[in-house]
Amino acid sequence: MTDPFILSGFSDEIDPDIEVQLSHLQSLGIRYFEPRTINGKNISELNDEEAIALRGRMDHYGIGASSIGSPIGKIGIMDNFDSHMELLQRTIRTAKILGTSYIRVFSFYIPDGEYTIFRDEVLRRMKVMTNLACYENVILLHENEKGIYGDSAIRCREILDETNSRHLRAVFDPANFIQCGQATYPEAYSLMRPYIEYMHIKDAEQSGEVVPAGYGIGFVAEILKSLKASGYEGFLSLEPHLGSFTGLSKLSRDDSRRLQEKEPSSAEKFDVAYQALKSILRQI
């Protein structure tokens, strides 16, 4: 049913406990996850011992890592970059231990939308990060996100064109585009398609409120149908955001998302998102 798509997901939205996360994914028949928060600790902060222990639990449940759901690039453009590169190096090491070559990244928070002023510094940083990824033979996946340089499709495309590397590709997140006032399909999709290597399955209404796939204006079904027709073979990673989860407040500066902390994430809400995606896959 899912071919050519491989299902994955942010399982920290199921439960804070990694054992519960992996067990629940196994019960759904999902064989991959996108590690982001592991028992309350961000994936980028795991040491070797912790990463090896996590790999052991993954192997026990037969769950692989589709990508590292890292916060790399989710700092201000004027924040210290050298220490952030050290965090990227640490994250690359974890990625290798967990058996994935993909690492999600962002393109830095820009003050008051001053994109032109900080364009050159954003591109410099993205190229430095990509050069390290090339040296380490991993692939950075840039995610569009509100408040960062790559919030719109045209700036995402600019980053990817200017960096011009097989080691920097795109995560396409429909809900994040909607929250930035960006039409997802065909506008953003058409512009981004040459670089799309990974999908986050998250939909939203016009207001920006996150809803299950197919219940918003993200044209998720149309995007997946077009991806399939164009020969895409890769991951669809569920990121339900239908409630809060441990570590959410540390991962986003968008106050509107913090409203979701009023109601916790749960396995049941993850299942709602999963069933919504399955319904779309049956349609296409």
Task: Give the Cα separation of 125 and 120 in Å (integer).
Answer: 9
Residue type, 24: H
Asked if residue 264 has pLDDT above 90, the reply is no
Look at residue 87 and give its three-state secondary structure: helix
**In sequence order, what are the beta bridge partners of 42?**
37
User: For 14-51, how does the pLDDT look when each residue is reduced to its tens digit (9 = 90+)?
Assistant: 999 999 999 999 999 999 999 999 999 999 999 999 99
pLDDT of the residue at 262 = 46
pLDDT of the residue at 76 = 98
What is the domain count for the chain? 1
Q: CATH code at 180?
A: 3.20.20.150
Residue in 265, 269, 272 with CA at minimum distance from that of residue 247: 265
Asked if residue 235 has pLDDT above 90, the reply is yes
What is the DSSP secondary-structure string of 177-216? HHHTT--IIIIIHHHHGGGEEEEEE-EE-TT--EE-TTSS
Helices (H), the chain: 18-28, 48-61, 82-98, 115-136, 153-163, 174-179, 189-192, 220-229, 248-251, 255-258, 267-283
Residues of the domain holding 112: 5-283
Task: Give the Cα separation of 81 and 75 in Å (integer).
Answer: 9
pLDDT of the residue at 1 = 42
User: For 168-226, how does the pLDDT look when each residue is reduced to its tens digit (9 = 90+)?
Assistant: 999 999 999 999 999 999 999 999 999 999 999 999 999 999 999 999 999 999 999 99
Task: Give the Cα separation of 81 and 109 in Å (integer).
Answer: 13
pLDDT of the residue at 259 = 40
Residue in 221, 226, 264 with CA at minimum distance from that of residue 244: 264
Task: Give the Cα separation of 158 and 275 in Å (integer).
Answer: 35
Beta strand 196-201 with 234-238: parallel, antiparallel or unpaired?
Answer: parallel
Question: Could you tell me if 190 and 183 are in contact, meaning their C-beta atoms sit under 8 angstroms apart?
Answer: no
DSSP 35: -
Higher per-residue confidence, 100 vs 241: 100
Look at residue 23 and give its three-state secondary structure: helix
DSSP 226: H
**In sequence order, what are the beta bridge partners of 143?**
171
Q: State the chain's mean pLDDT as an integer.
A: 93
pLDDT band at 106 (very low <50, low <70, confident <90, very high): very high
pLDDT band at 234 (very low <50, low <70, confident <90, very high): very high
User: For 67-99, how does the pLDDT look when each residue is reduced to its tens digit (9 = 90+)?
Assistant: 999 999 999 999 999 999 999 999 999 999 999
